[in-house]
Amino acid sequence: MNNAVWTLLQPRLIDAANGFRSRASGIRRLLFLLVGLVFWIGAFLIFYRVLAYFESVQDFGDILAIKLLSMMMLTFFTLLLFSSIINSLSHLYLSRDLSLVHSLPVSVRDIFWARWLGSAFDSSWMVIAFSLPVILSYGWVFQAGPGFYLAAVGAVLCLCLIAAGISSLIVLCGAALLPAGKIRTLFVILGVLLALLLVLVLRLIRPEQLVNPDSFASAVLYLNSMQALDRPWLPTTWITDVMRLSLKGKWGLSGFNLALAASCFLFLLFLNDTLARLLYFRGFSRSQTTAKRLFAPLMYRGISWEFPLGFLSRPARAVAVKEIRSFFRDSTQWPQLFLICALIVVYLYNFSVLPLDRTPISSVYLQNVFSFLNVGLAAFVLSAIAARFVFPAVSTEGEAFWIIQAAPVALKTFLWIKFFLYAIPLLILSEILIVASNLLLGVTSLMMIVSVVTIFCLVPAIVALAVGLGARFPDFKSENPALSATSFGGVLFMLLSFGLIALVIILEAGPVYKIFMARISGHGFSFWTILWLILSFAFALLLCVFAVFFPMKAGEKHLLAK
Amino acid sequence: MIELHDLTKDYKTTLAVDRLNLHVRAGEIYGFIGPNGAGKTTTIRMMGGIIEPTSGAISIGGIDLRKDPVAAKKMIGFVPDRPFLYEKLTGSEFLRFIADLYAVAPRTAARRAEELLRQFALWNWGNEIIESYSHGMKQRLIIAAALLHDPKVMIIDEPMVGLDPEAVRQVRDILKELAKQNVTVFVSTHTLSLAEDLCDRIGVISKGTLLAEGTVAELNRAAKTGNAGLEDVFLTLVREG
């Protein structure tokens, strides 16, 4: 790395070092460390158990373990491509400091590589962090030596760098080809493509077939399907092979695959270097021209889309319209919206392929257990969506927050407008998810009512928690408020939200089971049982009510004192 | 119209404003000058209801800002020192947003928005997103937005930053015209020539404390600088303060 690239990386490194040194962040670091540790240990234990089970299956065990590895590498690679493209676009073309950086007496090539390194790091660290417990569990279960760990870490690094190399090539070409002022459109195009890619990849690997070898006519067909995605030209195949072969101690072949991956990365570096010299500044210069609106105003016979908001008070409608406009005009939101749509499709599809009829347990019982677990799962999905979109809702006001502070609108009103703006669509989305998945499962009417009512109580609680904590820990100076989901406040929200969901599910599990079994057996309830049922449901409801009002109040208090 | 009583803002590490007392009459243009870090922006942000004072009171048109912030803010047109706006809205949409927040009647709002967009040479840009505006255009849009609801009090922090000479003259004329219509104007600035030309009275603040206030002649007497210009008066007061 030459001096100029190193110098260009300095502000970022110093910023990180200063953040690390600051005393105020001590508790935050501890919380992150704790969450990271719990996550790592949890991931390790899950993989260890799964792999240990696979190893115990004669003949097929090893194949299943490698198939799982190959599926994971393919998923990692898709995620890496997705996040690298988004990061490259921001780091190379849209960051606020780019005007300053391009005015400095350094070559465009140096700027490109400094930004590329930042982008590659940002898009890869999470995948690397997650892959470590996976690698450890494989090494542990298959009793691998230190050589395996070295090879596996090298392979994952190559996977990240290849994804970063491919992504920057796509972004370089896209920025050069798109008309000036339309570079943000790239987000929309990529969003659609990535959503399709995700659905395609998940359907290609068909994870449900792993648990159903009977559906294949013969063992040969089953084995063939296991190899289906291991195309020799896919980088994920080389990476899987590096690990697979080093697990078996075949160092020569493992090294060959690692060399293949490394040479692919080096070739991508060369291509990036050549194209960056030719295209980067041209694309950057075009991205600096006036931003164009993505879509024309939506009107039908003179009636605007704002018409349904007519029942709101004028200040409330003003904030609501502003929020909706700003959200949909921010093209960085689009890929994630498309991705959510893709995930919902996959989520619902998975319920339709659950092999409930092939289990030894009573299918009615299992359907209803799944339905109950589905409430928790849907609420967890909702928490993740809230962390990404609702938690940053106050921070997205950015430096323009003075407008709200100076306006004759109480901060309380402002926060409640934000709450309703997100609570209503998320409630509709969650109820659709729950009802659709319950219909696919064919659950009893009791479970349908329990699921619908539980989600109806949980959604406002989760949204209020997100809005309230977002107001308690706002970041009005952030260049990308969406990133606040990974801040201290964002992590705290996830923890509290998961805690709330778990508590509500635990409080309801016993009573629901009791009612369900009583219906099957036709027994009645004693007085104490009825009291227990009422208290459990009432406490769950109280928790949700508390989660709605307390964080909102805390957020308002903090904003007022700011 | 504006009254500050023992207004204090203590950031723990810095005492930004220390027991500031001010009285600005209706229809008066009051200039607020001081060196960097003197506490001007903090004072203005407290007057706009953006930050809470540590102690003391602010009264706008007889309404205590702490007790009834919504009523007090309805009377204020606030212009901050930096033009941060909702970048994804168009200029027209932003003005409509402001009109809704301040509950300006829809017809009046539409008419005023057009007038102001034309007045500030933004009419042709009204349907473009603010992201594409220059710094000066954003500043003009903020001033237009502050005037939209016909405020009784204008609080302006550095009004001329980023404006071209024509816009500077235009804003100066508008502020004078507003004062004639009995609107109170409180303006903080580093442009001493502007303060001298525009303001009826000027307050000099340094290290959070009001050093002197009055007309240029009264400030000259306080600083014992004879008939010197505002620049000399200012430098003397700040040096001695």
Per-residue confidence (pLDDT) for residue A79, from 0 to 100? 81
The upper half-sphere exposure of residue A36, i.e. CA atoms within 13 Å in the direction of its Cβ, equals 16
A102-148 pLDDT tens trace: 877 888 899 999 999 999 998 898 888 888 999 999 999 888 888 99
Could you give phi then psi for residue A191, rounded to 5 degrees?
A: -60, -50
pLDDT digits (tens, 9 = 90+) for A468-509: 999 999 988 877 777 777 788 888 898 899 899 989 988 888
Confidence (pLDDT) at A363: 62
Q: What is the residue-averaged pLDDT of chain A?
A: 82
Nearest CB among B50, B74, B100 relative to A405 is that of B50
Identify the residue with better confidence: A213 or B232.
B232
pLDDT exceeds cutoff 60 at B52: yes
Given a contact cutoff of 8 angstroms between Cβ atoms, the answer to whether A92 and A119 are in contact is yes
| Number of compact structural domains in chain A | 2
B154-186: pLDDT as tens digits = 999 987 887 888 888 888 888 898 899 999 999
The residue among A342 and A390 whose pLDDT is bigger is A390
Flag whether A448 is in a domain: yes
Strands B29-33 and B201-206 come out as: parallel
pLDDT at residue A264, rounded to an integer = 94
Query: What is the structure's pLDDT at A296?
Result: 60
| pLDDT of the residue at A185 | 67
With 0-12 CB in 10 A as exposed, 13-18 as middle and 19+ as buried, what is B171?
A: buried
Among A291-295, A530-534, B140-144, where is mean pLDDT lowest?
A291-295
Q: What are phi and psi of A294, to 5 degrees?
A: -75, -45
Give yes or no for a contact between A478 and A397, defined as CB atoms under 8 angstroms apart.
no
Instruction: Give the full edge-to-edge strand order of the sheet including B2-10.
Output: B15-24, B2-10, B55-60, B63-64
Q: Which residues contact A330 (CB under 8 A, 6 or more apart)?
A: B88
A419, pLDDT greater than 70: yes
Contact B102 A407 (CB under 8 A): yes
In this prediction, residue A486 carries a pLDDT of: 72
Q: Per-residue confidence at A464, pLDDT binned at 50, 70, 90?
A: very high
pLDDT one-digit tens code per residue, B210-238 = 888 988 888 888 878 878 788 888 888 88
Query: Which residues of A are less than 8 Å from B84 in CB distance?
Result: 398-400, 402
Residue A218 scores a pLDDT above 60: no
User: By mean pLDDT, which of A219-233, A382-396, A429-443, A507-521 is the weakest?
Assistant: A219-233
The amino acid that residue A305 corresponds to is W
CA nearest to B133 within chain A = A290
**A517 membership: H or E segment, kind and range:** helix A488-521
Q: Provide the b/e sequence for B13-50 (b: ≥16 CB within 10 Å).
A: eebbbbebebebeeebbbbbbbbeebbbbbbbbbbbbb
Q: How far apart are CA A241 and CA A258, in angstroms?
A: 8
Task: Please give the average per-residue pLDDT across B62-69, as a whole number.
Answer: 90
Q: Where are the alpha helices (DSSP H) in A276-410?
A: 281-287, 314-329, 334-352, 363-385, 401-406
Q: Please tell me the predicted confidence (pLDDT) of residue A224.
A: 57
A269 band by pLDDT with thresholds 50, 70 and 90: very high
Contacts of A409 in chain B (CB under 8 A): 70, 101
B197 touches chain A (CB under 8 A): no
Task: Tell me what pLDDT residue B144 has.
Answer: 93
**A329: nearest CB among B85, B102, B129:** B129
pLDDT at A213: 52
Are A155 and A287 part of one and the same domain?
Answer: yes
Same domain for A370 and A517, yes or no, is yes
Position A319 confidence tier, pLDDT thresholds 50, 70, 90: confident
- Which candidate from A314, A400, A410 shows the least CB-CB separation from B103? A314
Strand B153-157 and strand B2-10: the pairing is unpaired
Same domain? For A146 and A276 the reply is yes
Q: Does residue A340 fall inside a structural domain? A: no
* Best-predicted range by mean pLDDT (A187-196, A296-305, A368-377): A368-377
Decide if pLDDT at B147 tops 80.
yes
Residue A29 lies in a domain: no
CA distance B161 to chain A (A): 18
Inter-chain touch B48–A402, beta carbons under 8 Å: yes
The two three-digit tokens of residue B82, written as one number: 């930096």
Q: Does one domain contain both A509 and A404? A: yes
Residue A400 is inside which H or E element, if any?
Answer: none
pTM of the shown model: 0.77
Residues in chain A: 562
Give the pLDDT confidence of A152-169 residue by residue, as tens digits: 999 999 999 999 999 999
> What's the average model confidence in pLDDT over A210-222?
55
Q: Is residue A269 part of a domain?
A: yes
Length of chain B: 241
In terms of pLDDT, which residue wins out, A365 or A49?
A49
Least confident of A178-182, A337-341, A512-516, B154-158: A178-182
- CA separation for the pair A230, A421 (Å, rounded): 45
Choose the final residue of a domain: A271, A291, A311. Answer: A291
What's the token pair of residue A120? 């590659």
pLDDT for position A312: 81
What contacts B166, CB < 8 A, 6 or more positions away? none
Is residue B197 pLDDT above 90, yes or no? no
Helix (H, G, I), strand (E, B) or coil at A217: coil
Domain B2-75+152-240 coded CATH 3.40.190.10:
no
- The residues in B 123-162 lying below 8 A from A, measured between CB atoms, are 128-129, 131-132
Lowest mean pLDDT among A48-52, A217-221, B62-66, B218-222: A217-221
Count the neighbouring beta carbons within 10 Å of the beta carbon of residue A151: 22
What pLDDT score was predicted for residue A225? 55
Backbone φ/ψ region at A290: left (φ over 0), alpha (ψ -120 to 50), beta: beta
Cα–Cα dist A463/A458, whole Å: 9
Inspect the interface and report whether the beta carbons of B86 and A318 lie closer than 8 Å.
no
Last residue in a domain, options A291, A324, A349: A291
Could you tell me the residue ranges of all domains in chain B? 2-75+152-240, 84-150
Q: Judge: A318–B97 Cβ closer than 8 Å, yes or no.
A: yes
pLDDT at A294 over 60: no
Domain boundary among A276, A291, A306: A291
- pLDDT band at residue B23 using 50, 70 and 90 as cut-offs: very high
Highest mean pLDDT, choosing among A41-45, A164-168, A233-237, A380-384: A164-168
Identify the CA nearest to A463 among candidates A388, A538, A409: A388
Q: Is B68 on the interface with A (CB under 8 A)?
A: no
Rounded to whole angstroms, the Cα distance separating A263 from A132 reads 23
Which percentage of chain A shows pLDDT scores above 70? 85
Residues A228, A125, single domain; the answer is: yes
**How confident is the model at residue A457, as a pLDDT?**
93
Q: CA of A318: which chain B residue's CA is closest?
A: B97
If pLDDT is split at 50, 70 and 90, which confidence band does A221 have? low
On chain A, the residues whose CB falls within 8 A of the CB of B100 are: 314-315, 317-318, 321
Q: What is the SS3 string spanning chain B?
A: CEEEEEEEEECCCCEEEEEEEEEECCCCEEEEECCCCCCHHHHHHHHCCCCCCCEEEEEECCEECCCCHHHHHHCEEEECCCCCCCCCCEHHHHHHHHHHHCCCCHHHHHHHHHHHHHHCCCHHHCCCEHHHCCHHHHHHHHHHHHHCCCCCEEEEECCCCCCCHHHHHHHHHHHHHHHHCCCEEEEECCCHHHHHHHCCEEEEEECCEEEEEECHHHHHHHHCCCCCCHHHHHHHHHHHC
Question: Quick one: chain A helix, strand, coil %, rounded to 5?
Answer: 85, 0, 15
Task: Look at residue A351 in the predicted model and tell me its pLDDT.
Answer: 73
Look at residues A526, A503, A504 and name the one whose alpha carbon lies nearest to residue A514: A526
Residue A42 in domain: no
Both A280 and A409 in a single domain?
no
Q: Which residue has the higher pLDDT, B241 or A356?
A: B241
pLDDT above 90 covers a percentage of chain A that reads 25
Highest mean pLDDT among A11-25, A147-161, A441-455, B80-94: A147-161
Q: Is residue A512 part of a domain?
A: yes
The answer to whether A137 touches A93, Cβ cutoff 8 Å, is: no
A335-363 burial, b if ≥16 CB within 10 A, otherwise e? bbebbbebbeeebeeebeebeeeeeeeee
The pair of three-digit structure tokens given for residue A250, joined into one six-digit string: 């075949």
Most confident of B145-149, B189-193, B220-224: B145-149
In a domain, A124, yes or no: yes
Q: Write out the residue range of the structural domain in which residue A429 sits.
A: 362-562
Q: Is residue A277 over pLDDT 80?
A: yes
* Structure ipTM: 0.82
More confident site: A220 or B72? B72
B71–A318: do the CB atoms touch at under 8 Å?
no
| Residue A291 confidence class, pLDDT cut points 50, 70, 90 | low
User: Residue A466: its pLDDT value, please?
Assistant: 95
Q: How close is the nearest chain B Cα to the Cα of A169, in Å?
A: 27
> What pLDDT, on a 0 to 100 scale, did the predictor assign at position A460?
95
Predicted local confidence at residue A388, as pLDDT: 84
pLDDT digits (tens, 9 = 90+) for A172-193: 988 888 765 666 666 667 777 7
Read off the tokens for A450.
């329990």
pLDDT over 90 at A542, yes or no: yes
Indicate the SS3 state at residue A299. Answer: strand
- Determine the angle formed by the axes of helices B91-101 and B135-147, rounding to 10 degrees: 30
Q: Are residues A242 and A377 in the same domain?
A: no
Residue B82 makes CB contacts below 8 A (sequence gap 6+) with A399
Could A405 and B132 be called an inter-chain contact, meaning their C-beta atoms sit closer than 8 Å?
no
pLDDT exceeds 80 at position A228 = no
